[in-house]
Amino acid sequence: MTAIQDHPLRYALANELHARPFPELSAPCHAVFLAIKQPVEAAARDRELDRAHLLELLDRYGAPHPSPGATHFFGKIGKHTLKWESHTEFVTFTIFAEGVAEKPFDPDTFDVFPEEWLKRAPGVRLVSSLIRVEARPSQEKIKAKLEDWFVPESLAVSSVLDDSAVIAGDFRIDAAGHTRFALFISDGIGERRVGRVLQRVTEIETYKTASMLGLARVRKLSKEMGDIDTKLSSMVGDMGGDSTEAEQTLKSLLEVSGDLENLMAQSSFRFGATGAYEALVNQRIEVLREERFDGRQTFAEFMMRRFDPAMRTVKATEGRLQKMADRATRAAELLRTRVDVERQTQNQALLESMDRRADLQLRLQKTVEGLSVVAISYYAVNLAIYLIGPLAYTSGVSKTVLTAVTTPLVVLGVWMLVHRIRQGMEK
């Protein structure tokens, strides 16, 4: 068999599909989840800082390091299991542990992350969650626990994966700064399926929060966009002014177009990321195959009521910003066309004025040439008479006759000379 060279990334790309395994969990257990994001320019952050932060945690437990450049890690740290993932804008830490605290959602559970280590995080907390996993009791006991643990008004509960589990959460941040989720696992459910359900819950919370950053951006843009829209409408209304005002309006329109393009450039990444995170939220909920539990709203219904309006606001603002930019561009093009037409009209009038001036100059030149011929002829006739006068006297020709004969000849000669000089200048 002839050997063939592999693409240098063939194995790395194939292994990437299998490098992020789901945890294998069994009830009772719990998970502590943390997502860290840099406040600004998170997508362009120095990822070595994220890696250094991870290694500091691993070194506390004497755990092995991931390979250089790795974007994920899954392994034991002491008696717990850690799953670390690096995403486009944030990194996530999930610690899984057996058993559950006697006090549901005990804030002390989060102490698994050392306080000094948290203070040195290369970013800020985006999400922190406590997930409690229990064996599934009777429906009445589940209802009692949910009423005790969550805010009823925003509680979402559903049976998932063909009634394999019941998941619940109210998406609120408690007094300790964490969101809470509960999983009730039916008997006989595989450990990997439990791990998948828990993973989906953390992803829904994380991507939901990340996508809401788009709404925060929209709210920050709203006043600035309102001011620009008012200014743009006023300038469009002033497009019927005179040519001087039109040029000033055109300059202002170009400035507004520049401001809008700048806003679009600053917001394009956030708008795109928001759309991507929204799609991930909906996809993660869809794969859970939710069914209603005890008449409560499902995760999908919660998102439809609370999350989808925010996403529509982001999309509407993105569309409005694009339409404002297009309107400013169209107005500038129309006004530029008007200014160009007015300038062409002014140039045409200027050319016509120059033609009239040239015609007047030509007439004046001809008049001057005529006068020049007369003046030159006058002196030339006198000179000719002085020169040929003696000859005429000896021939018996009077001075009057001599003048009458000489004058036409001299005038004709002078005119021909002047005419030839003018033709030579025109050439």
Query: Could you tell me the sign of the dihedral formed by the alpha carbons of 50, 84, 134, 288, in that order?
Result: positive
Interatomic CA distance for residues 249 and 236, integer angstroms: 8
Interatomic CA distance for residues 230 and 324, integer angstroms: 11
pLDDT of residue 95: 97
Domains and CATH numbers, the chain: 17-201 (no CATH), 212-349 (1.20.58), 367-426 (no CATH)
3-state secondary structure of 4: coil
Condensed to tens digits (0 to 9), the pLDDT of residues 376-413 reads: 776 777 777 776 767 666 666 666 766 777 777 777 77
Token readout for 232 is 């743009």
Condensed to tens digits (0 to 9), the pLDDT of residues 343-388 reads: 676 777 777 778 778 777 777 776 766 667 677 776 777 777 776 7
**Tokens 């120095």 — which residue?**
46
184: left (phi over 0), alpha (psi -120 to 50) or beta: beta
- Which residues neighbour 163 within 8 Å (Cβ) at sequence distance 6 or greater? 186, 291
- Which residues neighbour 136 within 8 Å (Cβ) at sequence distance 6 or greater? 27, 142, 165, 166, 184, 185, 186, 187
- DSSP-derived letter for residue 98 is E
Residue pair 152/103 in contact by the 8 Å Cβ criterion: no
Interatomic CA distance for residues 317 and 221, integer angstroms: 9
pLDDT of residue 255: 78
pLDDT of residue 39: 92
Query: Could you tell me the sign of the dihedral formed by the alpha carbons of 396, 402, 405, 406, in that order?
Result: positive
Model's pTM, two decimal places? 0.77
- DSSP-derived letter for residue 306 is I
Name beta bridge partners: 96. Answer: 31, 81
Q: Which residues of the chain are modeled with pLDDT < 50? A: none
Q: How far is CA 147 from the centre of its chain?
A: 44
Q: Give the angle 47-51-57 at the CA atoms, nearest 5°.
A: 150
Interatomic CA distance for residues 302 and 276, integer angstroms: 19
pLDDT of residue 251: 74
Name beta bridge partners: 184. Answer: 134, 166
Token readout for 71 is 């974007």
pLDDT of residue 4: 87
pLDDT of residue 265: 84
Token readout for 20 is 């992020």
Angle separating helix axes 243-287 and 308-394, nearest 10 degrees: 150
Q: Counting Cβ atoms within 10 Å, is residue 251 exposed (0-12), middle (13-18) or buried (19+)?
A: exposed
Residue pair 185/167 in contact by the 8 Å Cβ criterion: no
3-state secondary structure of 14: helix
Interatomic CA distance for residues 185 and 177, integer angstroms: 26
